Amino acid sequence: MIKAAIIGATGFTGSELVRILLGHPDVELIGISSESRAGEPFPAVHPQFEGFCDLTLVKAEEIAALGPDICFLALPHRVSMSYVKDWQDAPFRIVDLSGDFRLGSASTYEAWYGTKHVLPDLVGEVPYGLPELERDRIPDARIVANPGCYPTATSLALAPLLAEGLVKPDDLVVDAKSGTTGAGVKPSEGTHFTRINDNFRAYGLLRHRHTVEIEECLGRVAGTTVQVQFTPHLLPVDRGILVTAYARPVHETNGDALQRLYREFYADAPFVRLREAPPELKDVRGTNLCDIHVAHDPRTGRILVLSAIDNLVKGAAGQAVQNMDLMFGLPETAGLDLLPLRP
């Protein structure tokens, strides 16, 4: 059994990790931490786990002594990198769910996150954990950078087109919409019920941090510089991401050819489902799936790709477990046979 621990278990992503790991046939969850709620039983924070998880929350500094094989860092950016620094020589492996090690250089990180990195030489060396696109370095990695939610949905939507050089890499438009859990568990004015309910708005206009992560990931797929016009929006729903991406082909194509391309590209990707109709959030809710629909508009000439994921699962905790499975030589589907929660 793999002994797993979670740093930051009281957030939305942390609680999803608990939910998934409790049902994993090859994992024993041995420790969960919270700096603000240490000493309390986990169900006191997340009552849905009453009778399923009787672990007591501890301080993060106590986790290493428990002897984990892997630690999941479900922490905000700027915070995760300090733990990675402290645990550089620790005997366990790490999946970091923050943005601290996703980018290609410390200078890029500092430009987009507005802070100095405490491990600048490690930035760009940590494998990016999007298995459908970059699995080769994951199995042997000691640390894996778990991708962001928007980059996961967007990169999976556009990767086949860019890998084959079928679209202009500098003419990509991404309209993305997320549920409120993407903003984290900490209350804020922007996620207050009266601001969210019966409302819909864009945010992070022109400068959302996931823009550069998307461009770097797709740039590696394309083998050239990629530029994306990325605009995220906040939906009045709990969870889910729906991406609509627009691309300009470099030569004539049609819907049938595009569907063949996507089927071949994702033939060995168990979590990617190619849908004949545009995807819906409820079809992926609670799962590690990414549903994709691709179409060609002969009137405008553009290619449209729609993708849907659960931002807390494929966009965070589920993908982290998928990476763990690969790191420990398990089938990547282990513990992730989760049925969609619909209605």
| The residue type at 238 | D
* CB contact burial 70-82 (16+ within 10 A = b; e otherwise): bbbbbbebbebbe
Q: Which long-range contacts (CB under 8 A, 24 or more apart) does 264-272 make?
A: 265/159, 265/160, 265/163, 266/132, 266/160, 266/292, 269/132, 270/332, 270/333, 271/132, 271/314, 271/322, 271/333, 271/336, 272/132, 272/156
DSSP string, 183-229: G-SS--GGG-HHHHTT--EE-STTT-THHHHHHHHHHHHHTS---EE
At residue 53, the 3 state secondary structure works out as: coil
The 3-state DSSP class for residue 119 equals coil
* 53 assigned to active site: no
Closest alpha carbon to 307 in 269, 334, 256, 337: 269
303/125 Cα distance (integer angstroms): 34
- Catalytic entry in 71, 149, 217, 290: 149
Q: How far is CA 252 from CA 158, 246, 249, 299, 302, in A?
A: 17, 15, 7, 12, 10
Q: Which residues are designated catalytic? A: 149
